[in-house]
Chains A and B, each alone.
Chain A
Amino acid sequence: MEKDEEQKRIEGDIEGLTSDCKRLEGLNALITGGSQGIGRRIALEFANEGADVAINDLSSQKEKANLVAQYIEGELGRDTWIAEGDVSDLDDMKKVREQVEENFGTIDILINNAGINRDSLFFKMEKEDWDKVLSVNLDGVFNTTKAFLDHVRESDQGRIINMSSVIGESGNIGQANYASSKAGMIGFTKALAREVVRDDVTVNAVAPGFVATRMVEDIPEKVKEKIIAQIPFGRFAEPREVARTVCFLASNDASYITGEVIRMNGGYYM
C-alpha cells in the first residue's frame, strides 16, 4: 500500500521531468536525504540531465531509496548507488565515502539536502529538540562535506550545494531550532566558498520557501491556507522548481557563481 503510494509519486515526478540538454553528463552526484521529497526530485532531475546519482539516506528509508534507485536505473538509464548512513555521524559518513568510492566512483557534485524539523514554541522546546535538528541539518553539512571534500576538489566541475530555507532568513514561529540550522548553512556556504575557490569548487545554497512536499502537505488545512495567504504567489513551490534551480547551480552555466544563496520563495521574502 505504502509502496504503491511511493511509486505513484515517483512516476508523477518522472512524468514532469524536462531537460533541454544533458547538462550533467559524465558527472557523479551524491544527494543526502535523497529517498523522498525535494531530495528525491533532485536525484531524478540530475539523472535525467545525465548524471550518475548516489542516494544517501538512513537505513530506515531503505525501501524508499531502493525505489528511487530502481527508477534511476530502469527509467532514466543512469548508474546509482544507495549510500546508507546517518549524516549526523561523521564516522558513518566516512564509511559512506569508502563505500561510494568502491562501488560508485568519486563525487563531483555534493548536495547537502538531508534535513529534519521538530517544531515547537521556544518556551516548550527541549534541548533535545535543538540538538537533534542542529545535528542533522548543520552538523550533517559539516560531516558530509568533510567526508567528500577531497572528491569534490579533484573534480573539474566541483560543486557543493546546500539546501537552506527561507526560514533561515525570515525566521518563523515555532522553528528556533530549524531557523538556526538553516541560517547556519548560509554562513557555512559563504565561508567555505572562500576557502575552496582555489580548487575551482563553487559552494552555493538554495533557500526555498514552502514547498509542496509531504512535510508541508501534513500541515492542517487551516494553517496551510494561512501560510498561502502570506505568499505573494498564492501557492507553494513545486519540488520541480527547487530541483531545476539546483540543476542550474550544478551545471557549467553557473561557473562564476559562488557563495551565493538563491532564494526561490514566490515573493515570500525578498
Chain B
Amino acid sequence: MTEEKMEKKLHNKRALVTGASRGIGKEIANTLARHGADVVVNYNTSHEDASEIATSVELAGKETWVYPADIRSFQEVEEMKKSIEDNFGTIDILVNNAGINIDKFFTKMEKNDWETVLSVNLDGVFNCSKVFLDDLREAEGGRIINISSVVGQRGNLGQVNYASSKAGMIGFTKALARELVRDEVTVNAVAPGFIATDMVMNIPEKVQESIKKKIPMGRFGETKEVAEAVAFLASPSASYITGEVLKVNGGFYI
C-alpha cells in the first residue's frame, strides 16, 4: 500500500460533539481527533473538564474550540453556531451525545423529571440538528450521529423518561435520514448498552454485579468501544449506511 493512502479516516473533517466534557462524549471527541478531525467540544457546566479535552485534542495535533451551551435552549445553540462559525468554521459531523438521566419509578416520577430529560435528550437533538443543518448539507458527506441507548430499545426499570427520549432519537434518526438523503447527509444512531462511565459506575456495587450477569459478555462496555463505532459511522467507510441504529451492547439486547 502506498503512503498517500495511509490518510486518517476523518482527515479534513470538522466535528461537533455535544456533552463532550465527560464520559462517552469525551471519548468520542478524543477518538475523532485521533482519527484526524478537528473537534468542537460542547459542554453545559463542566468547564474544567471541557478545557482538559480541548488540550488532549490539541495534543493529537488537531484544532479545537470549546463552547458552553445548554442545548435545551434553541437560542443558546444558535449563539454557539455563530461563535463556531466565526472562530472555527463549518461543521461536517454532528454528534448528538449530550444526555442526562433522572431515574425513578413511574409512580414517583414527576412531570418535571419527564420534561427535563426529554428536553435535553430529545429537544436537544432537534435544536442542534436544526441549527447545524445548513453546515451539514454543504459538507461533502455530512454526518449526523445520535447517541441513543439500549434502554430506548428494550426499556428499563425506573427509566420511563430516559427510555422514551432515547427511543425518540431512533425515530428522529430514521425520519431525518430519509429527508437528508438528497443532500448526501447520512443520519445514524449508536445504541450503547451499559458502558463504564461515571453514570454507571455510580450505581451501587451489588446492582452493578446483577446488571453484569445479564450482559452475555459479562462486562460493561468501554467508552472507546462506543467511540470507535461513532468514528466508523463518521468515516467514508460508512457512506452507504443511513437510518441505521448500530447496537454496541455486548449481546445485552439482540
Specify which chain B residues have a CB less than 8 angstroms from the CB of A197 in the assembled complex: 216-218, 250-251
Specify which chain A residues have a CB less than 8 angstroms from the CB of B35 in the assembled complex: 20
- Asked if B237 contacts A190 (CB within 8 A), the reply is no
A20 to B36 Cα, complex, angstroms: 10
B238 within 8 A of A: yes
- Asked if B240 contacts A257 (CB within 8 A), the reply is no
Picked from B181, B237, B251, the residue with its CB within 8 Å of the CB of A267 is B181
A260 to B177 Cα, complex, angstroms: 20
Interface 0/1 of A197-240, CB less than 8 Å to B? 10000000000110000000000000000000000110001100
A258 within 8 A of B: yes
List the interface of chain A (C-beta within 8 A of B).
Answer: 17-21, 48, 76, 190, 193-194, 197, 208-209, 232-233, 237-238, 241-242, 244-245, 247-248, 253-260, 262-267, 270
Specify which chain B residues have a CB less than 8 angstroms from the CB of A193 in the assembled complex: 216, 251, 254
Specify which chain B residues have a CB less than 8 angstroms from the CB of A257 in the assembled complex: 225, 229, 246-249
Which 3 residue pairs spanning A and B have beta carbons closest together?
A259-B254, A244-B237, A253-B228
Q: What's the least CB distance linking A219 to chain B, in Å?
A: 18
Specify which chain A residues have a CB less than 8 angstroms from the CB of B239 in the assembled complex: 241
- Asked if A233 contacts B217 (CB within 8 A), the reply is no
B242 within 8 A of A: yes
A180 to B162 Cα, complex, angstroms: 36
Identity of the chain B residue whose Cβ is nearest the Cβ of A16 in the assembled complex: B5
21 A-B pairs with C-beta separation under 8 A: A18-B5, A18-B236, A19-B6, A20-B6, A193-B254, A208-B240, A232-B178, A233-B181, A233-B242, A241-B240, A245-B237, A253-B225, A253-B231, A256-B222, A256-B226, A259-B251, A264-B238, A266-B181, A267-B177, A267-B178, A270-B244
- Asked if A244 contacts B238 (CB within 8 A), the reply is yes
